[in-house]
Structure 1
C-alpha cells in the first residue's frame, strides 16, 4: 500500500512520475546517510562486542540481514573521515553506490598524498557524483589512482615502465580449432582497446521488435573479431574524419523549421521531422529540389557543418561530451548547435557544443538545452529533473587536483 497522504503511482502524470522518482531516490539517500550515522556510532561504542559479535560488520550481517560485502562497505563508509561525502549523501544529492565508489578510491591513496590533496579529491569526486552514475565516478577514480601512482613512484621506475610497458597475451587452441586467450595490457593500450571495443560492442538495433539476443561477452567477442578483421585489411581502414554522413534532404525547409510531418529515409524508413533534425545535426546536408513526379530538378551543395578547425577548437574547449557526468572523449562526439541550424543557429564556437551519440538525443527529445556560459558549455535540465532548471556543467573531464 502507498504511504498515507501520497498519490498512488498509477494516478501520476508522466511529469509527476518522473519527478517522484527523483524525489524518492533522494529520500533513499537521506535514509542511507542516517543508517551510516548509526553504524558509525555503533562502531564507536563497540556495540558488536557487547552483543557477542566479533566486529561491527558481523553485527550488521546478522542483525540487519545484509551480505558480508554490504556490511563491510557500510562500516568502511561510516567510519571514513569524509565529511563532504556524508554531507552530499545526507542532502540526497548522491547515492550510496557513489559513496562506496568514492570511499574505495580515497582509501587507496598512497601516503604521499597530503590531507589537502585528499580533501580536494573528495570534493572533485563528490561534484562528479552529483551529476554522473557510479560507473563514471569509478572511471574518474581509476584515473586519480593512476595519477597518484605516477606521482608516488620514483621517476626512474616510471620511465622504465613507460619504455617497456607490460603487455601479455596468452592463447591456446581447442581440438575444434577455437582459440582461448587471456592476458593484460598497460594502461595506454587498455584505453585504446576499450575505445575500439565500446562502439563495436553496442547491441544491434531491434529487428521486427526483437532486441539483440547476444550476451555482453558475445558482443565483446564479435567486437574483437571486427578489430582483427579490420587490421587484416589495414590499407582499407577508414580514417576517423571529422565528417559524419551525407544526408540528401527531400523535405521542405518550412516543414523542417516547423518540426512537423513525416519523411522517408533510405535505411531508416519513416521518421518524424524532429528525428530528421537530430540525424542531420552534424551531417552534410544536400538540398534536393524535386519535381511534381518526384524527379530531381536540382541538387545543391553541402552546407552548414562545423569545420575541422572548429572541431579541434571544440575538442580543446569541451574535452569531450558536455552532457552532465558523461566521460566520452572528443573522438566519440559530434558538434551540436545550441540553436538548431534550421532555426537560424550559427555554426560558430559560441553556438556549438560537443555531445556523444548516446546523450545527443536528450537535446532533441529529452527536454534538455545547452548554452555557452563564461567559456564553458552548460546543460539546462527539464523541469522534472530540476524544477528550477539550474544549469549544470560537466566536470567529468576535469583533471585531478
Structure 2
C-alpha cells in the first residue's frame, strides 16, 4: 500500500509505477545518508560508551538488530572523510552499496597516497557510481588498490620481486592416493590461471534431457587443473629425467590384464584397478610391465601402443577435438583412445594402434569412456558414443556436433 496521499499501486500505470520505483530508491538513498550522519555524530560524541556499550558498532548491533558486519560498514562509512560520496548519497544519486564499495577502497589507502590523490579517486568512483552497478565499482576499486600497491613499492624491490616471483605449492598425499594442496601465485601467474579457468572450468551445456552440469565450481576448477597438467605432460619439450620424459611404470599380471580384474601397482607402491590401467595406457605417460606366471617380464610397453605424432595430427583433422557428444574441448586438450583395447581380454593380439581404432577424448571424458559404461565405435568415419542402458534403454548412438563448422549441418 502507498502513503495516504498516494493511489494504490494496482491503480497506477506502467509509467507511474516505474517513476514511483525510481523515486522510492532516491528516498532510500537519502534516508541512508541521514542514517550515516546520525551514526557519525553518535561516534564523535561517544554516545555509545555513555549508554553502556563498548563501541558504536555494538550499539548499532543491539539497538538496530543488524549484523556485526553491517554495523562495521556503517561506522566506516560514517566516520570516513568522503564529502563527495556523502553529498551524492544525500542527493539520492548513488545507493548504499555504492557507498560501501567506495569506502572499502578509500579507507584502506596506504600512507603513500596523498590527500589530493584520494580526492581525485573519490570523484572518479562517485562519477562511475552514477552510471554503473556496485560490482563494476568494486572491480575499478580493485584496480586502484592494485595501482597503489604497485606504485608504493620501492623500484629496486619491485624488480627483485619480478625476478623471483612468489609461487608456492604445498601438497600431501592421502592414504587412498589423493593429493591435497595449498599455495599461492604471483599476480602474473594468478591472472594466467584465471584466464584458463574462464575457458576450461565453465559449466558444460545441458545434456539431452535438459539437466545442467552437476559439478560445483570447485569441481570444475579441479577438472581444469587436471586438463592443464595432462596437456603439460604431453608437451614434446617436457624436461627429461634419467634420459626420458615423466613416465610411470605399472606392474600387472597377464591373467589380471586379460580378465580386466585384480589389482596393479604403480611404480611398486600405489595400487589401482585394471580398469584404471586400461585408461592410463592410452597415453605415453604410462608403461605397463606385464608379468607372466613366474614373474618374468612379458612386455614393458610397446612403441606401437601409443599414437605417433602423425596419427595425432590425422585424428585432430578427423575428430577436431574431444569426441564426447557434449564436449567442446579442442584437439590439443585430448588423448587418443583405443576403441578396441590394445590387449585382447581373451588372449592374443588386441586392437591395433591405427587411425581406424582410435578416437580423441579429453581427460574428463576419457574417464567416462572407461568407467561410465559407455561404448565407443567408429562408423562411416565418425566416432559414436553409445550410452549405458540406464541412461538410454535403446542405447542410441550419439556423436559430437560441437566441432562442426558454422552453417554445416551434422549428418
Assess if the C-alpha contact under 8 Å between 2:9 and 2:17 holds in 1. no
Name the CA shift for 1:17/1:224 in 2 (closer, same or farther; >3 Å): farther
Residue 56 of structure 1 corresponds to 56
Name the CA shift for 1:89/1:168 in 2 (closer, same or farther; >3 Å): same
Q: Which has the larger radius of gyration?
A: 2
Map residues 57-76 of structure 1 onto 2, 5 A cutoff: 57-76=57-76
- Using the TM superposition, give the Cα deviation of residue 162 of structure 1 relative to its aligned residue in structure 2, in angstroms: 1.0
Q: Distance in 1 between matches of 2:229 and 2:151?
A: 36
Q: Distance in 2 between matches of 1:74 and 1:201?
A: 37
- For structure 1, which runs of at least 5 residues remain unmatched after alignment? 239-265, 269-283, 289-293, 295-401
Map residues 83-102 of structure 1 onto 2, 5 A cutoff: 83-102=83-102
Q: Does 1:177 align with 2:167?
A: no
Q: Does 1:134 align with 2:134?
A: yes
Partner SS for 1:52: coil
- Using the TM superposition, give the Cα deviation of residue 80 of structure 1 relative to its aligned residue in structure 2, in angstroms: 0.4
Residue 168 of structure 1 corresponds to 168
Assess if the C-alpha contact under 8 Å between 1:231 and 1:237 holds in 2. no
Q: Does 1:220 align with 2:221?
A: yes
Say which structure, 1 or 2, has more relative contact order (CA 8 Å, 6+ apart): 1
Q: Distance in 2 between matches of 1:216 and 1:19?
A: 39
TM-score (norm 1): 0.53
User: CA RMSD, aligned part only?
Assistant: 3.3
- Using the TM superposition, give the Cα deviation of residue 83 of structure 1 relative to its aligned residue in structure 2, in angstroms: 1.1
Q: Distance in 2 between matches of 1:138 and 1:45?
A: 32
- Using the TM superposition, give the Cα deviation of residue 54 of structure 1 relative to its aligned residue in structure 2, in angstroms: 2.0
Residue 82 of structure 2 corresponds to 82
- Using the TM superposition, give the Cα deviation of residue 36 of structure 1 relative to its aligned residue in structure 2, in angstroms: 0.9
Name the CA shift for 1:137/1:56 in 2 (closer, same or farther; >3 Å): same
- For structure 2, which runs of at least 5 residues remain unmatched after alignment? 237-330, 334-399
Q: Distance in 1 between matches of 2:3 and 2:60?
A: 27
Residues 335-375 of structure 1, C-alpha deviations (whole Å, 9 max, x = no match) = xxxxxxxxxxxxxxxxxxxxxxxxxxxxxxxxxxxxxxxxx
Residue 186 of structure 2 corresponds to 186
Partner SS for 1:214: coil
**Bigger Cα displacement from structure 2, 105-114 vs 124-133:** 124-133
Q: Distance in 1 between matches of 2:12 and 2:219?
A: 41
- Using the TM superposition, give the Cα deviation of residue 147 of structure 1 relative to its aligned residue in structure 2, in angstroms: 1.5
Q: Distance in 2 between matches of 1:122 and 1:152?
A: 19
- Using the TM superposition, give the Cα deviation of residue 220 of structure 1 relative to its aligned residue in structure 2, in angstroms: 2.5
Q: Distance in 1 between matches of 2:210 and 2:8?
A: 34
- Aligned pair count reads 245
Map residues 213-252 of structure 1 onto 2, 5 A cutoff: 213-234=214-235, 237=332
Q: Does 1:148 align with 2:148?
A: yes
Residues 181-202 of structure 1, C-alpha deviations (whole Å, 9 max, x = no match) = 1111111111121122134333
TM-score (norm 2): 0.52
